[in-house]
Amino acid sequence: MKISVIGTGYVGLVTATCFADLGNSVIGVDIDDKKINKLKNGVSPIYEQGLTELLAKNLRDGNLEFTTDIKYAVENSNIVYIAVGTPQGETGEADLSYLEAAIADISKYLDHEVIIVNKSTVPVGTGNYVKKILVEKSIDPKMFSVVSNPEFLKEGSAINDFMYPDRVVVGSDKKEALEIIADLYRPITTNIIKTDILSAEMIKYASNAFLATKISFINEISNICDRVGANVKEVAKGMGLDKRIGSKFLNAGIGYGGSCFPKDTLALIDIAKKAGYDFQILNKVVEVNKKQRNIFLEKVIGHCKTLEGKKFAVWGLAFKDNTDDMRESPSLDVIPYLLSKGAEVIAYDPIAVDNAKKLLPSNVKYGSNRYDVLNNCDALLILTDWKEFIEADFNVIGKELKGKVIIDGRNIYSKEKVEGFGIKYIGMGI
Ligand SMILES: NC(=O)c1ccc[n+]([C@@H]2O[C@H](COP(=O)([O-])OP(=O)(O)OC[C@H]3O[C@@H](n4cnc5c(N)ncnc54)[C@H](O)[C@@H]3O)[C@@H](O)[C@H]2O)c1
């Protein structure tokens, strides 16, 4: 198929590259010319495992091209994917301005029949809103079909998630368009849920809200474990083996971040509110998540007594491992707080430092490897669960770190093991 993907961010770029790899002819479009210039030269603007290689292969094979020219993209495709950002608006609602701009652009150059597929996470009803905009722009409804095809990939394993999905969801009231989009995925899965557009849009929000709920739930259990002396890791293991519960998203820690859960939970609360419903559980999930950052900081303060004049080594800046994405990362809450109380911070992240520098106060110092930030520090704070932190050498930590304590917001170590090296270990609910 001839596919255009509008928006070449974390989702759009992976979608474009994977569809090209599946044998389609794909054009990636973005308004950001710096991004497009990099992509034309085979350079990925984001860090994502395996992406650079897949990009190079498909550019070389001629299946994939990049442009800022939306006219060229629309004129040369039968399927137009929209993968632009839908960030959090002022009152928690999804901001649809990028999507509206993309639809306006498509409408200018629509001279043949196309299927417009929405991959961005959008409020329930957006597919119908897109149809309305196009009709208002005097586009003949016979010229387009609208399909919802939400994305479930995780940054850090996005290519794998795209190529081996648990399921694919497609929603439309146009049967033929629905089948064409479902066919795109037939080479990779048989688990294709074909549904109406409103349900497809809701599946995405409901899934993210449920996962966020699991995280806030286990975080509350961890806070109770701290009080009653149980170990949340043991508790999660015992719960997760029950197939009805499952072990994923049961890691207690500093709370969720990233570009999806924080904004999607708020957007679903807003969708419910506009529909006259108070989504009580989800309101609490969001509240608990915010509180969890403070619980981590309370542990730091509880150990250090005062933050003034203290020096902290921070391992991990990205919102999760294997990504350079800093959006809503716990480090953006924790580090500025420590600095505001007169502490010094020296941080290390394997990939996210360049992005972090744009967002964190300028007085944060950075190290070039995990060990060189430890020297003379009062404590090591763990904010991201990168593999190289999990595999760290406690002999080196014990030697370099002045204050022999690790305060672990991700529960990546065993307390027994760390304390065997003479280092105090403070986890979340351990
Ligand atoms: N990042 C994830 O893990 C993830 C997972 C599932 C779903 N989603 C959803 O996918 C959507 C995209 O997320 P993302 O993380 O890829 O965003 P992103 O910010 O990384 O990328 C969005 C891209 O769209 C471009 N853009 C904006 N307006 C444009 C226009 N009019 N024409 C062309 N390009 C335009 C931007 O320049 C940017 O490159 C969001 O709705 C998000 O909620 C994201």
pLDDT at 289: 98
Nearest CA to ligand 1 atom 30: 102
Q: What residues contact 234, with CB distance under 8 A and at least 6 apart?
A: none
Do both 286 and 408 map to the same domain?
yes
Q: How many structural domains comprise the chain?
A: 2
Quote the ligand 1 centre to 388 CA distance (angstroms): 29
What gap in Å lies between CA 373 and CA 367, rounded to an integer? 5
pLDDT at 184: 98
Do both 187 and 139 map to the same domain?
yes
pLDDT tens-digit series, residues 242-257: 999 999 999 999 999 9
18 is catalytic: no
Do both 323 and 344 map to the same domain?
yes
Do both 260 and 356 map to the same domain?
yes
Specify the DSSP class assigned to residue 156. Answer: T
What gap in Å lies between CA 345 and CA 339, rounded to an integer? 7
pLDDT at 329: 98
Do both 131 and 17 map to the same domain?
yes
Quote the ligand 1 centre to 424 CA distance (angstroms): 42
**CATH number where 376 lies:** 3.40.50.720
Mean pLDDT of the chain, nearest integer: 98
What gap in Å lies between CA 205 and CA 124, rounded to an integer? 9
182-188, long-range: CB < 8 A, 24+ apart: 184/1, 184/3, 184/19, 184/22, 184/24, 184/79, 187/22, 187/23, 188/22, 188/163, 188/164
pLDDT average, residue stretch 401-412: 98
**CB contact burial 57-80 (16+ within 10 A = b; e otherwise):** ebbeeebbbbbeebeebbeebebb
Please provide the DSSP assignment of 202-255 as one string. Answer: HHHHHHHHHHHHHHHHHHHHHHHHHHHT--HHHHHHHHHTSTTT-STT---SS-
Do both 294 and 178 map to the same domain?
no
**Among candidate residues 166, 195, 224, the one where a domain is terminated:** 195
* Helix, strand, coil percent content, the chain, rounded in steps of 5: 45, 15, 40
- Token pair belonging to 361: 């106060």
Q: Is the CB of 98 under 6 A from ligand 1?
A: yes
Do both 108 and 163 map to the same domain?
yes
Q: Is the CB of 257 under 6 A from ligand 1?
A: no
pLDDT at 206: 98
Q: Is the CB of 367 under 6 A from ligand 1?
A: no
Q: What is the 3 state secondary structure string of 298-351?
A: HHHHHHHCCCCCCEEEEECCCCCCCCCCCCCCCHHHHHHHHHHCCCEEEEECCC
Mutate to test the pocket of ligand 1, among 30, 159, 168 (most ligand atoms within 8 A of CB): 30
Residue 331 contacts residue 366 (beta carbons within 8 Å): no
Q: Is the CB of 260 under 6 A from ligand 1?
A: yes
Do both 237 and 324 map to the same domain?
yes
What residues make up the domain containing 141? 2-195
Do both 232 and 358 map to the same domain?
yes
Confidence at 288, pLDDT banded by 50, 70, 90? very high
pLDDT tens-digit series, residues 135-183: 999 999 999 999 999 999 999 999 999 999 999 999 999 999 999 999 9
- Residue 294 class from Cβ within 10 Å (0-12 exposed, 13-18 middle, 19+ buried)? middle
Nearest alpha carbon to residue 120 among 151, 160, 165, 162: 151
Q: What residues contact 403, with CB distance under 8 A and at least 6 apart?
A: 377, 378, 379
**Among candidate residues 147, 167, 195, the one where a domain is terminated:** 195
* Atom number of ligand 1 nearest to Cα 68: 33
What gap in Å lies between CA 405 and CA 397, rounded to an integer? 10
pLDDT average, residue stretch 184-209: 98
Distances (CA, A) of 375 to 274, 331, 365, 371, 380: 53, 20, 13, 8, 10
Do both 185 and 201 map to the same domain?
no
**Among candidate residues 177, 195, 213, the one where a domain is terminated:** 195
pLDDT at 47: 95
Which residue type, as a one-letter code, is found at position 31? I
Do both 230 and 308 map to the same domain?
yes
Do both 176 and 42 map to the same domain?
yes
Nearest CA to ligand 1 atom 10: 120
Quote the ligand 1 centre to 289 CA distance (angstroms): 24
